[in-house]
Copies of this chain bind each other. A is one copy, B any other.
Amino acid sequence: MTSPLQLPPAARPGDALSSIDTPALLLELDAFERNLDRMQAAATAAGVALRPHAKAHKCPAISLAQIQRGAVGICCQKVSEAFPFANAGVQDILISNETVGPAKAALAAELARHCQLTVCVDHESQIADLAAASQAVGSQMALLVEINIGQNRCGVTDAPAVLALIEQIQRHPQLRFKGLQAYLGSIQHVRGHEERRAAAAGAAERTAAVVAALRQAGHACEVITGGGSGTVEFDLASGVYTEVQPGSYIGMDADYGRNDFTGTLHFEHALFLASSVMSVGNGERTVVDAGLKSLTLDSGLPLVWGHGQVSQQLSYSAASDEHGIVQLLSPEAERPALGTQLWLVPGHCDPTFNLHDEVIAVRAGRVEAVWPIAARGLSR
């Protein structure tokens, strides 16, 4: 009968913030750009390469803004995730993770025809698959051996295991040993500044021991890469890492907000989820239109944002799929009216970006741009 229904965009450049249709993911550009500038300045001052992690946001426009400021390239966590970044013109990509099987090796080899690609390995069969796939399409790639510095997830245990893999890599002219991937995610959220410093120092020491043993055996590491937004201040100062991989610093999240950042490097909340009050009962309830399908709870509940800081009046206390319950924190707090737009600080930015097809870039009370989250859902 009629032509197919088409959803209008949630926001258009120039729109007032109040007219954004919710729920919608927002990036506050002034704070975002200060975060980018601070991180680049710290890396430059330390003489360490900055290779920000794109798994945090999956948005090519964000990576291009980082590269424009001096980042040497990006990390992705999956091979498929890297495809839209390569298409957007990112020329140097590290897959900071292992791939397994001929199908994924073929994706990597194809990707390597479009950018300078580095991939991590921790098993000889991964090397064999990558070698075969690269040879088949005539591409070249660099490999990092991942070492386990305490995460007990991926990575080999010690220098002899690295040497065994280097030997395998060197059998294939289309592959090149480039160095080590050494990341310890579990220490990124150690709350206390001194405790986190000590944990980062331990991780750097374990990494340095492997680097020294490799040097002893005649193998230099061109790249030693790791670190995250929680430990980056210490990673930059460690003298061990040639490159750091922070991701979340671009927007921060409620979980990182619970870290004690008393050092020289700190970042601002720039990522928000705009929601609306959709039900108020008889005036005794505040229900917003954003739940599990707009933000994730794996690192805790979101915080309510207001007047440039975490709200002291309102608290997001429970989520169902498409609803959030907001409570008053004091008897003096006022309930927001039906339809009021409430901004939330997501608990964990990485999986929250992965729920949205676009992020709305805002500045000075207006929508400035709408950026596709082009790698959303790409986990292969």
- Residues in chain A within 8 A of chain B (CB atoms): 1-2, 4-8, 10, 19, 21-24, 55, 77-78, 80, 83, 86-87, 97-101, 103-104, 107, 110-111, 113-114, 122-123, 125, 148, 152-157, 161, 185, 276-282, 285, 287, 289-290, 292-294, 296-298, 319-323, 325, 338-339, 348, 350-351, 354-357, 376-380
Contact = CB atoms under 8 A, between A and B. Distances in A.
A153 B380 contact: no
A279 B154 contact: yes
Contact of A289 (B21, B100, B376): B100
Number of copies: 2
Given A154-B323, A322-B77, A278 B114 contact: no
A70 B292 CA distance: 30
Contacts of A161: 282
A253 to B, nearest CB: 13
A83 B281 CA distance: 28
A276 B105 CA distance: 14
Given A21-B104, A123-B280, A297-B298, 8 more contacts: A19-B103, A98-B278, A100-B279, A154-B323, A289-B379, A294-B379, A354-B355, A355-B355
Nearest to A358: B377
A91 to B, nearest CB: 11
Given A297-B298, A338-B125, A154 B107 contact: no
11 contacts: A7-B80, A7-B380, A21-B103, A23-B380, A77-B321, A101-B276, A125-B339, A154-B278, A321-B350, A355-B355, A355-B377
A323 B153 contact: yes
A185 B320 contact: yes
Nearest to A353: B293
A290 B379 contact: yes
